[in-house]
Amino acid sequence: MELTTIWFVLIAVLWIGYFVLEGFDYGVGALLPVLGRDETRRRQMLGSIGPFWDGNEVWLLTAGGATFAAFPHWYATLFSGFYLPLLLILVALIVRGIGLEYRGKVDSTSWRRRMDLMIIGGSAVPALLWGVAFTNIVRGVPIDAQMEYVGGFWDLLNPVALLGGLVTLTLFLTHGALFVALKTDGALRHDARALGVRLGVVAAALAVVWLWLVHSSTGGLVSGTLAVLAAAALVAGLLAARTGREGWAFTGTFVAIALATASLFVALFPDVMPSTLDPAWSLTVDNAASSAKTLGIMTWVAVVFTPIVLLYQSWTYWTFRRRISGHHIPTDVHHAAVTAETRQGSDRPDRPLTSA
């Protein structure tokens, strides 16, 4: 197998890892106003993703960096042509990070409400726009002979791409709801599981139409098979959720997102960005790639560091595997008292500020 093909596969794996892991973070954040009916439930939800969300974002950084190094022409065309939607995603991720990090720093209901709005918007916007972006990438965009995108922002908001955005949004909402059901206990667990089933039905209906539209024009037998398996995994996950088996339910959405993403990359190969103006102007794994020497060095780096990253993330998920119940969350009165004591008691510098 050529190095260009190997790196195309590795980048696909990075995007799969990003969507299946960061996908439930997006879902949990966007569902905050729906499932988080009081402060205790909101802290349970945010506590469920607290140890993971920033580590999950590393997959995006690595995917972007790998694309830049392995396929610089792909990176340049993608980030210049999709500049505005990618900027909106970046701003949303920054806003969400601020909300998650600073929510518990001020003991004020209005402060926490503002941080919650930042978390909700910063989760929903990327969940929608990633579907729009990937639908356009796979179906093709206007690229000229100089490998430059010659369309406009509104060209990206075509009906099929917007449908793709709704698919990723509803899939991530389902994924997030089932993650909350898996990681919490009490009334929140049951409400999240029931909501996940309802959202999953909507996501499945939208996904079937979207995958058919995408693969009918670009896909082949392998990508179509992966799409069918993705739909089957989602249905199996929803059936498991109905019977109260949250672990299998979350596994179902996990596998469904992974297979759906894999089907898009299989449909795309050997192109990396097809041109709708002339197939000869499409960016491929060959004309968009770096030199063989660069790819060779990167391959050895990946061989050394990828297992380390996987081991670290596996250890993190194992360490924080237990459910979060309501009694694990301090009451608002206790939270306010500890916060006030920490602020006023300079003689107790060893007492940390309680955060959500």
Mean pLDDT lowest among 24-38, 281-295, 331-345: 331-345
pLDDT at residue 331, rounded to an integer: 63
In a domain, residue 320? The reply is yes
User: What number of CA atoms fall less than 13 Å from residue 282's CA on the CB side?
Assistant: 19
- In the chain, the number of structural domains is 1
Per residue in 237-248, pLDDT (tens digit) is: 999 999 999 999
| Alpha-carbon gap, residue 142 to 282, rounded angstroms | 9
Q: Average pLDDT, whole number, for the chain? A: 88
More confident: 53 or 343? 53
Question: Phi-psi region for residue 282, left (φ > 0), alpha (ψ -120 to 50) or beta?
Answer: beta
In a domain, residue 351? The reply is no
In a domain, residue 105? The reply is yes
In a domain, residue 172? The reply is yes
**Residues of the chain above pLDDT 90, percent:** 72
pLDDT at residue 94, rounded to an integer: 96
pLDDT at residue 325, rounded to an integer: 78
Section 282-302 average pLDDT: 92
Q: What is the pTM of this model?
A: 0.89
In a domain, residue 16? The reply is yes
pLDDT at residue 99, rounded to an integer: 95
Query: In this model, does residue 352 exceed pLDDT 60?
Result: no
| Alpha-carbon gap, residue 160 to 217, rounded angstroms | 12
In a domain, residue 349? The reply is no
Q: What is the DSSP string of 238-286?
A: HHHHHTT-HHHHHHHHHHHHHHHHHHHHHHHTTEEE-BSS-GGG-EETT
Section 156-176 average pLDDT: 95
Backbone angles phi, psi at 220, to 5 degrees: -125, -160
Domain that includes residue 336, residue range: 3-344
pLDDT band at residue 327 using 50, 70 and 90 as cut-offs: low
pLDDT at residue 163, rounded to an integer: 96
355: helix, strand or coil: coil
In a domain, residue 249? The reply is yes
Per residue in 173-226, pLDDT (tens digit) is: 999 999 999 999 889 999 999 999 999 999 999 999 998 888 877 767 888 899
pLDDT at residue 260, rounded to an integer: 94
Tokens standing for residue 232: 């089957």
